[in-house]
């Protein structure tokens, strides 16, 4: 019932060449773009914000944009990201535990889809009450902050639990996912696959994207 979708993360791409790098990923079969937004506070790293996303949207009109909001105040960036042309606003629930429902509603009111993200140390019970309000559940398979880290296979029980209880939910995995780890994600029931380094550094991007997609579909 749920469709396999591959969303490359451009975090470790040449960010000075963001539009061309993104277009190349789309031409090579990416179903959406996973844009990693970091505020140097929720995670110990900085990337880019809504103004860069807006510039990217001006050059790439029709792709589906997800922003993965690794920020302490997800409420603050809802309007600017909606205005920048973001389709799916995925935020970490850890900094807004008592406010998850209202953040979800604000995202919907701004016209975007809602994604709920959990770090490796956060259990699915942190989001289970809110999944009826969400379009996507993102299970992190590394500590958020940096690309190129090792995949944490011990996160798969979370994916399995979500798939068993929510057969139609889009379940996304992010961190260390590539040809060597995709089997594990597919078996557990993930259908939205973020892959950074494995796709960006591949000599043949199309080959890797096709392989990831066919593994999840089968």
Q: Which residue numbers belong to the known binding site for substrate?
A: 9, 68, 145-148, 176, 196-197
Question: Which of ligand DX5, Zn ion, none sits in contact with 148, Cβ below 5 to 8 A by type?
Answer: ligand DX5
Measured on CA atoms in the order 213, 166, 126, 65, is the torsion positive or negative?
positive
> In the bound complex, what is the minimum distance in angstroms from residue 39's beta carbon to Zn ion?
13
Q: Which residue is closest to ligand DX5 by CB?
A: 196
Residues whose CB is less than 8 angstroms from the CB of residue 171 and which lie 6 or more positions away in sequence, other chains included: 2, 136, 137, 139, 159, 162, 163, 189, 190, 191, 192
Residue 39 within binding range of Zn ion, rule CB under 5 A: no
Q: Which of 36, 39, 135, 170 is catalytic?
A: 36
99: which DSSP letter? -
Task: Out of 68, 92, 106, 119, point to the residue binding Zn ion (CB under 5 A).
Answer: 68
Site size toward ligand DX5 (CB under 6 A) is 22
- Asked if 36 is an active-site residue, the reply is yes
Position among 74, 115, 189, 196 found at the interface with ligand DX5 (CB under 6 A):
196
Contact (CB, 8 A) for 104 and 74 = no
Catalytic-residue membership of 174: yes
Q: How far apart are CA 213 and CA 207, in angstroms?
A: 10
Cα separations (Å) of 171 from 91, 117, 121, 142? 14, 10, 18, 16
Q: Does 179 bind ligand DX5 (CB under 6 A)?
A: no
Closer residue to Zn ion, CB minimum distance, 94 or 132: 94
Does residue 53 touch ligand DX5 according to CB under 6 A?
Answer: no
Cite the active site residues.
36, 174
């Amino acid at each position: 019932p749920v469709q396999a979708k591959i969303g490359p993360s451009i975090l470790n791409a040449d960010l000075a060449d963001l539009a061309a790098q993104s277009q190349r990923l789309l031409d090579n079969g990416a179903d959406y773009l996973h844009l990693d937004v970091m505020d140097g506070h929720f995670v110990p790293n900085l990337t880019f914000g809504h103004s860069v996303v807006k510039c990217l949207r001006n050059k790439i009109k029709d792709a589906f944009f997800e922003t993965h909001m690794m920020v302490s105040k997800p409420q603050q960036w809802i309007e600017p990201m909606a205005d920048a042309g973001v389709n799916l606003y995925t935020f970490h629930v850890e900094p807004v535990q008592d406010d998850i429902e209202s953040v979800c509603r604000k995202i919907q009111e701004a016209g975007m889809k809602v994604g709920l993200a959990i770090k490796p140390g956060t259990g699915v019970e942190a989001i289970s009450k809110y999944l009826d309000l969400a379009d996507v559940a993102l299970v992190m398979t590394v500590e958020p902050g940096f690309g190129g880290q090792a995949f944490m296979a011990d996160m798969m029980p979370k994916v399995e639990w979500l798939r068993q209880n929510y057969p139609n939910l889009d379940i996304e995995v992010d961190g260390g996912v590539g040809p060597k780890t995709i089997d594990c994600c597919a078996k557990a029931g993930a259908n939205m696959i973020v892959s950074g380094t494995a796709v960006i550094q591949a000599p043949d991007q199309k080959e890797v994207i096709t392989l990831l997609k066919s593994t999840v579909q089968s």
